[in-house]
Amino acid sequence: MTYFSLLSVNGLVMGLIYALMAAGLTLVFSVLKVVNFGHGSLYMLGGYASYYAIGLLGVPPIAGVIVAMVALFLFGVVFERLVLAPMYSDKVERKDEYAIIVTFGLTILLTNLGLVVFGPFSKSPPAFLQGTLIAGPLILPYDRLIAAVIAVVILCGLAWFLARTSLGQALDAVSQSRDSAAVIGINPKRMYTIAFGLGSALAGGAGALIAPIFALSPNMGELPGVQAFIIIVLGGMGSVGGSIIGGILLGIVQALGVGFLPDPNRALAYTQAFGALLLILVLLVRPTGLFGRAHMRLE
Amino acid sequence: MAFRRSHGLQALLLVVALAAPLVAGPYWVHVGALAWYYALLAASWALLAGYAGQFSFAHIAFAALGGYGSALLTLRLGLPFALSVLLTVILAIVLGALMGALVLRLSGPYLALFTLAIAEIFRLMLVAEEEVTRGSLGLEVPGLFSGDSDVPYYYLGLGLVLLALLGMNGLLMTRVGLFLRAIREDEHAAQASGVNTTLHKIIVFVTTAGIAALAGIYYGHFIGILSPNMVIIPEMGLVIAMAVIGGIESLPGAVVGAVVVYALSEILREYGEWRFVLLGLALIIVQRFAQNGLFSVVERYLDRRVAPAGKSPAGVESAPNMEGEYEPS
Amino acid sequence: MNPPEAPYFAARALHRHFGGIIAVEEFSADLRRGEIVGLIGPNGSGKTTTINLVAGALRPDNGSITLDGRDIVGMPAYAFARAGVGRTFQVPRLFKRMTVIENLIVPALTDTRTSRRQAEARAREILAFVRFEHLADAYARTLSGGQQKLLELGRALMLRPSLLLLDEPFAGVHPRLLDQIVEHIRTLSAQGYTIVLVDHNLDAVSSVVRRTLVMARGRKIADGPSEEVLRDPAVIHAYTGTRKAMEPH
């Protein structure tokens, strides 16, 4: 039973970080109606941003997370303005296709840029806090504990922001109907920019949180990227709350899967495949995800 | 179809392709032979995504299915080569039809995610089932031709590309091609006009799955070794990039895109990963400024007309070479 | 074939909900062959959903639809078209990067017995009808709004529809072109097409139809000769919330 709870706790930690990432992806999807296929690479960028902030600027490790989020917010804004903005006018003909291709190009660009600039060997930023928490049967490194706590804080902040602030509500309004939002004076294009920036920041934050736990490498974003897609399909493309729940669930289930399957090689491969399988099954049954609203085309 | 200057360009490129091994050294013949693998994938993917609007990330999985399927049937079950190829292609076609049926209700990013997941699962299966596939160690595949030269493979690959282009073009010139374009323009309107969108999407999946499988078989026998790494997402990304840069709505454009991108990646080999940084950048820039690919830009330039005598009474232009228009070429 | 007493087109108790909202409730209507009726109602009354149900674009939760003796509910959307239901959309859905001629021949070619030449010949007939011959090779997206509506009408006609559903053919159309569209619809009716006309322009609708159906909040609230229906207090109330008489101006 202890093994089970240990696995679950670790799964919970990972799940929270997945949830952070998925929330960012969901935000972008619900406001811009775009699945950011480059989301994983933003996560990677955030991890490295934090690493270099700590190493070069002497910033304390926890503040590295903030630096990563700010840096990725700015990056997201720039990318959105330069590359995504033309989609909103009629300059771009096949918008869905454009979005997929362009964000995919971002992945190729950033991952390989990472390989060149950061080098292929993994790097480890310093821990948030050395040591391990031992409380009865529970054994949890402080890094993971702090990562989980910070993730929870950010997610709560996000929820509060979306529900209580006027900017957050404006984002929600645009996600429901661009035209209606415009009628009441909200500038949809500004909301798109902000949403993409925020989504990128969330991904970057997740990357910064995971960095001391699992080390950085330029293709670290690949698997979490796929996980994020799985989560938003499970949780609903368009529902931030749903994607948070989905993230946590996936993290726990995956941890348990690796722990309980007998053959290690197959266990690893099939645990990863499990998420993908789940995605397929969900999409077959409900083409818009479990909690999602119907996919609205970007007009 | 009227002879256009762009057709002349295609003929020229064909002549160059036929003659290249006579002047190029063995390294470049090898590069060319490998480029044909990508060209087959890029062109068939262009049919799938560009004409039928099905943005599938599972295309490369069909290539792997072809390669592994044929190799395993020959190696493990001892079937003769031709039979293995035939059975594998049939399997690919059946699975392609199944895929087409499964993705019917999905569109846009949902379809992309679904097919991405399928490709990942297939890859993981190849890794996990080591006893059968030898997993990450790689499965050795015997060559097709005796001797060390890649030249026979080069011409085989070129032949396959030409056959595929002829086949796909033939399909597009029939009413099926018209229906595919209609589906791509507006699926609801196509249905309201009586087009059986289900059937036609499945036709495209079937056709392109078969071509991808053939490409995979060719690849296996040419390179001599198959590994699950042929199905990783960056490989699919490469195919997509080739098709998009060359021209997602132009089959010859996709072929040219594949050859150019692959050749460039070899020429720039010493720059390591910078090649792919460039690729990512090129992908974004081409999409942003030339959504229909670079080859169609070249074709349009060649086929441009002198200013028309005047607009028709309704004030509507009827120049057939406006931006974004496509015909089977 | 169709027994003489049975109506040519019959919708019975059509019902459709979306989530918690009932869009169409207990909708029933009969049409004789060659009849032309208007379907009006305030925004949100369920008109377009009804059209979508009859066209097969949506499946009803309950109810039946019979056309010329055939029960057509449950078939996929394209089969409705092949069974003879032609429709236009509120906002024209053309194949934008295909030419006018190509737009027209698509429906005809879905019948495998029709050759390309036959399809093009019929397309040219239709083009003559809408007076578009000079635009045959133009790309659909270069057409004006009104021309697009006419093209869409032409495309629906290519199927030789037993039932023609026109969803807001007059919306957003230049007045001169509007007269043309009205005239075309009158001609089609005279030729014997069975037509359901949905629009907000009561003027234009009443100039073409003699029988009007009215929907409000998902239900059919009136069905009869246009002049009576437009004076029906329930109809007036549905539109304006008052009892003031509503005259087409």
Q: Would you place residue B306 in the very low, low, confident or very high pLDDT band (cuts 50, 70, 90)?
A: low
Spatial CA neighbour of B233 closest among B59, B102, B38: B59
More confident residue, B259 or B6: B259
Asked if residues A22 and A43 have their Cβ atoms less than 8 Å apart, the reply is no
Spatial CA neighbour of B322 closest among B299, B293, B289: B299
CA distance A164 to chain B (A): 30
Give the pLDDT confidence score for residue C44 in this predicted structure.
Answer: 81
* pLDDT tens digit at each of 299 positions of chain A: 577 788 888 888 888 998 999 999 989 988 888 889 999 999 999 999 999 998 888 888 888 999 999 999 999 999 999 999 988 887 777 788 899 999 999 999 999 999 989 888 888 888 877 778 777 777 888 888 889 999 999 999 998 898 888 888 888 888 877 777 777 778 888 999 999 999 999 999 999 999 888 888 898 888 888 888 888 887 766 677 778 888 888 888 888 777 776 666 666 667 777 778 888 888 888 776 665 554 433 32
Q: For residue C171, what is the DSSP state?
A: T
CATH code of the domain containing A261: 1.10.3470
- Per-residue b or e along A84-101, where b marks 16 or more CB atoms closer than 10 Å to that residue's CB: bbbbbeeebebbbbbbbb
Contact C109 B178 (CB under 8 A): yes
**Is position B325 within any domain?**
no
**Is position B137 within any domain?**
yes
- Per-residue pLDDT reduced to its tens digit, C169-214: 998 888 888 888 999 999 999 998 999 999 988 888 888 998 999 9
**Is position A111 within any domain?**
yes
Give the pLDDT confidence score for residue A58 in this predicted structure.
Answer: 81
Contact C57 B313 (CB under 8 A): no
What six digits make up the tokens of B34?
Answer: 């490998």
pLDDT at residue C233 above 80? yes
pLDDT at residue B316 above 60? no
List, as ranges, residues 15-34 from A with C-beta within 8 Å of B.
29, 34
Best-predicted range by mean pLDDT (A225-239, B13-27, B81-95) = B81-95
Give the pLDDT confidence score for residue A291 in this predicted structure.
Answer: 55
If you average pLDDT over residues B248-253, what whole number do you get?
89
Q: Would you place residue B329 in the very low, low, confident or very high pLDDT band (cuts 50, 70, 90)?
A: very low
Q: Would you place residue B2 in the very low, low, confident or very high pLDDT band (cuts 50, 70, 90)?
A: low
**Is position A297 within any domain?**
no
For the CA atoms of A183, A186, A190, A192, the dihedral, rounded to the nearest 10 degrees, stands at -70
Q: Would you place residue B90 in the very low, low, confident or very high pLDDT band (cuts 50, 70, 90)?
A: very high
What six digits make up the tokens of A174?
Answer: 């645009």
How far is the C-alpha of B153 from the C-alpha of B134, rounded, in Å?
A: 25
**Is position A105 within any domain?**
yes
Cβ of A127 under 8 Å from any chain B Cβ? Answer: no
Give the pLDDT confidence score for residue B321 in this predicted structure.
Answer: 34
Closest residue in B to A107 (Cα) is B280
Cβ of B326 under 8 Å from any chain A Cβ? Answer: no
DSSP-H helix ranges across chain A: 2-32, 39-57, 61-79, 95-118, 142-164, 166-176, 178-183, 188-214, 222-235, 240-260, 264-285
Contact A113 B277 (CB under 8 A): yes
C13 Cβ contact list (under 8 Å, min separation 6): C26, C27, C28, C62, C63, C64
Contact A112 B240 (CB under 8 A): no
Contact C106 B314 (CB under 8 A): no
List, as ranges, residues 138-177 from B with C-beta within 8 Å of A.
none
**Is position B58 within any domain?**
yes
How many domains does the structure of chain B reveal?
Answer: 1
Spatial CA neighbour of A124 closest among A205, A49, A18, A214: A214
Report the percentage of chain C scoring pLDDT > 90.
39
Q: Which secondary-structure segment (H or E) carries C219? A: strand C219-225
Residues of chain B positioned with their CB less than 8 A from the CB of A223: none
Chains that touch B (3 or more CB pairs under 8 A): A, C
- For A76, the domain range is 2-285
**Is position A290 within any domain?**
no
A283 Cβ contact list (under 8 Å, min separation 6): A233, A289, B106, B110, B113, B114
Task: List the domains of chain C with CATH numbers.
Answer: 9-205+215-240 (3.40.50.300)
ipTM: 0.87
- For B229, the domain range is 5-302
Give the pLDDT confidence score for residue A298 in this predicted structure.
Answer: 32
Asked if residues B248 and B292 have their Cβ atoms less than 8 Å apart, the reply is yes
Residues of chain C positioned with their CB less than 8 A from the CB of B325: 97, 139
pLDDT at residue B319 above 60? no
Contact B186 C93 (CB under 8 A): yes
Contact A273 B273 (CB under 8 A): no
* B176, B193, B327, best to mutate vs chain C, most C CBs in 10 Å: B193
List, as ranges, residues 243-302 from B with C-beta within 8 Å of C.
none
How far is the C-alpha of A292 from the C-alpha of B14, rounded, in Å?
A: 49
A280 Cβ contact list (under 8 Å, min separation 6): B114, B117, B118, B121
Q: Which secondary-structure segment (H or E) carries C24? A: strand C21-31
**Is position B135 within any domain?**
yes
More confident residue, C132 or B62: B62
**Is position A298 within any domain?**
no
How many domains does the structure of chain A reveal?
Answer: 1
**Is position B308 within any domain?**
no
CA distance B273 to chain A (A): 6
List, as ranges, residues 232-271 from A with C-beta within 8 Å of B.
233, 237, 265-266, 269-270
Cβ of B51 under 8 Å from any chain C Cβ? Answer: no
Q: Would you place residue B304 in the very low, low, confident or very high pLDDT band (cuts 50, 70, 90)?
A: confident
Asked if residues B226 and B141 have their Cβ atoms less than 8 Å apart, the reply is yes
Distances (CA, A) of A141 to A124, A131, A135, A212: 16, 6, 11, 11
Give the pLDDT confidence score for residue B97 in this predicted structure.
Answer: 94
Give the pLDDT confidence score for residue B187 in this predicted structure.
Answer: 86
Contact B316 C55 (CB under 8 A): no
- Per-residue pLDDT reduced to its tens digit, B251-274: 999 999 999 999 999 998 888 888
Distances (CA, A) of B7 to A33, B3, B169, B295: 39, 6, 14, 12
**Is position A294 within any domain?**
no
Give the pLDDT confidence score for residue A237 in this predicted structure.
Answer: 62
CATH code of the domain containing B23: 1.10.3470
- Per-residue pLDDT reduced to its tens digit, C42-95: 888 888 899 999 999 888 988 999 888 888 888 899 999 999 999 999 889 999
Question: What is the C-alpha end-to-end distance of chain C, expressed in Å?
Answer: 44
Spatial CA neighbour of C110 closest among C70, C147, C72, C156: C156
How far is the C-alpha of C160 from the C-alpha of C193, rounded, in Å?
A: 9
If you average pLDDT over residues C223-243, what whole number do you get?
81
Mean pLDDT of chain C: 87
pLDDT at residue C4 above 80? no
**Is position A274 within any domain?**
yes
**Is position B184 within any domain?**
yes
Asked if residues C204 and C249 have their Cβ atoms less than 8 Å apart, the reply is no
**Is position A16 within any domain?**
yes
DSSP B177-199: HHHHHHHHH-HHHHHHTT--HHH
Best-predicted range by mean pLDDT (A48-62, A138-152, C109-123, C220-234) = C109-123
Give the pLDDT confidence score for residue B285 in this predicted structure.
Answer: 93
Closest residue in A to B105 (Cα) is A287
If you average pLDDT over residues B283-290, what whole number do you get?
90
